[in-house]
Homo-oligomer: A and B are copies of this chain.
Amino acid sequence: MSGQQAPAVKKQRTQPSYELLYHPHIPGRGEFIRLAFEAAGVPYTDVANEDSENGYAKVQATCMGDDSGTEGNPPVFSPPALRIAGAGRGGNALIISQTPNCLIFLGDKLGLAGGGGEEEKLWVQQVALTALDLNNEVHDTHHPIGVSLYYEDQKEESLKKARDVRENRLPKFFSYFSRMLSWNAAKAQHTKLVGDSLTYADTTVWQVLDGLYFAFPKEMQARQAEFPELLDTFYKSVREELKTYLESSRRLKYSEGVFRSYPELDRPS
C-alpha cells in the first residue's frame, strides 16, 4: 500500500463554493447578497466582477434570455442568483434566484438569521423583505413609467414620483424600522433590528439607507433629527461592522443602478 496516492475525495472542499451571479460594476440588488457574505466573513466568487473576460457571459447564460434551466435547476427570471457547486441533486450545482430567496437561504447557512429560532428567523425575513420593497420604490423614483425607457424620457413623472417617495414613503418606512429598533432595544440598544447579533435584516436595511444617502443627501440630512436611532446610531454601528469590506476594492461605487445621483429628484434647498 505504500506510495499510493491519497484518493481525490480528500481534496473535497470543507466549505461550499458560493458563486454570486449578477451584473458587473454596479452594487444593485447583488449588494444585499455581497453584504451577507462579507458580514459573515465567508468567501464567495463575484463571477462577473472577478472574471472580466468570461464572467458576465456565465451570468447571462444562467440568468438572462430565454434559458430553460441549467444543471437540473429551473430557469431564472433575472439576476441576482446564487450557484452553489455540489449542493444540488446528484452532485449538481444548486442554483437559486430572487434577492429575498438568496438572503433567506444564506441567512441560515451563514448564521445571519438571528439566534432565536424559527420566530426570530421569520422576523428577520419580514424586515428584510420590507427593506427590499423600499429598494424597489426608490428604483421607481427614476423609472416610474418603464424599466426599459431612459430616465430622460420619464423625467417629468420621476419628479412627481420622487417627491411622493421622499415626502410620504420614506417617513413611513423609517418610522417602521425605528419602531423595530425601539422594540428590540432591550437586546441591542438601537444597533440591531432583531435579536442581539447582526442579521441580514440589519445589512439589508443598512444598504438601502446607504443608497439613500447617495441618492437623496439633502432629504436624508433633513430627516436625521426625526429618526436618530435609525439614521445615526444604527446606521453608524452597522457601517462600523462592515468597515473592512466597505474600505476594500470589492465595494462597488453607486452609478447607474437602483441608487442614482439626480439632484433634481432630491429635496429642494
The interface of chain A, by Cβ under 8 A from chain B, is 66-69, 73-75, 77, 88-89, 94, 96-98, 100-101, 104-105, 119, 122-123, 125-127, 129-130, 136, 140, 144-149, 154, 157, 160-161, 164, 168-169, 173, 175-176, 179-180, 182-184, 194
14 contacts between A and B (CB under 8 A): A68-B179, A74-B180, A74-B184, A75-B176, A94-B122, A96-B122, A96-B126, A98-B129, A101-B125, A104-B125, A144-B161, A145-B157, A147-B169, A157-B160
Given A75-B183, A180-B75, A183-B69, A122-B145 contact (CB < 8 Å): no
- Decide: A146 and B164 in contact? CB cutoff 8 A: yes
Q: Which listed residue (B101, B157, B180) contacts A122, Cβ 8 A? A: B101
Cα distance A175–B77 when bound, in Å? 9
Sorted nearest first, the 4 A-B pairs with minimum C-beta distance are A146-B164, A98-B126, A98-B129, A101-B126
Chain B residue with the shortest CB-CB distance to A82:
B122
State the Cβ distance, A196 to closest chain B Cβ, in Å: 14
Give the copy number.
2
Given A144-B157, A149-B164, also A74-B125 (CB < 8 A): no
**CB-based contact A129/B101 at 8 Å:** yes
Determine the residue in chain B with the shortest Cβ distance to A149: B164
Let me know if A68 and B161 touch, CB within 8 A: no
Q: What distance in Å separates the Cβ of A148 from its nearest Cβ neighbour in chain B? A: 6
Q: Is the CB of A119 within 8 A of B89?
A: yes
Question: In the complex, which residues of chain B have a beta carbon less than 8 angstroms from the beta carbon of A129?
Answer: 98, 100-101
Contact of A119 with B104 at beta-carbon distance under 8 Å, contacts A157-B145, A184-B74 already known: no
Which B residues are CB-close (under 8 A) to A88? 119
B residues in contact with A68, CB < 8 Å: 179, 182-183
Q: Which residues of B contact A67 (CB under 8 A)?
A: 179
A101 to chain B: closest residue by CB: B126
Identify the interface centre among A98, A105, A194: most chain B CB within 10 Å of its CB. A98
**C-alpha spacing A98/B66, complex, angstroms:** 30
Q: How far is the CA of A184 from the CA of B176 in the complex (A)?
A: 40
Q: Is the CB of B179 within 8 A of A75?
A: yes
Determine which of B104, B149, B157 lies in contact with A104 in the assembled complex, contact meaning CB atoms within 8 Å.
B104
Q: How far is the CB of A70 from chain B (nearest CB, A)?
A: 10
Chain B residues, Cβ within 8 Å of A96 = 122-123, 126
Closest-by-CB residue of B relative to A157 is B157
CB distance from A195 to the nearest CB of B (A): 11
